[in-house]
């Protein structure tokens, strides 16, 4: 997962849709505790990323 905090406008839609993955700091900007999405939360994380009007979140598949 890529989080571009410079693009984040603080709408918080991502955190509303998937608070287990997306957190907001004291300024209302998104951050994640891990770049890996916990198992079982993939769909919610995708929905949160897709809801970002600033396109600050990108989910990438891990290549093994």
Tell me whether strands 2-3 and 22-24 are parallel, antiparallel or unpaired.
unpaired
Length of the chain in residues, anyone?
64
Domains of the chain with CATH codes: 2-58 (3.30.70.20)
Residues 1, 22: Cα–Cα separation, whole Å: 11
Instruction: Confirm if 4 and 29 have CB atoms less than 8 A apart.
Output: no
**What predicted TM-score, i.e. pTM, was given to this entire model?**
0.90
pLDDT in tens, the chain (64 residues): 999 999 999 999 999 999 999 999 999 999 999 999 999 999 999 999 999 999 999 999 887 6
């Amino acid at each position: 997962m890529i989080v571009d905090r410079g693009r984040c406008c603080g709408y918080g839609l991502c955190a509303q849709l998937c608070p287990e993955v997306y957190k907001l700091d004291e300024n209302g900007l998104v951050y994640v505790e891990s770049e890996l999405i916990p198992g079982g939360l993939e769909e919610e994380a995708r929905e949160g990323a897709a809801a970002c009007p600033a396109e600050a979140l990108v989910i990438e598949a891990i290549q093994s």
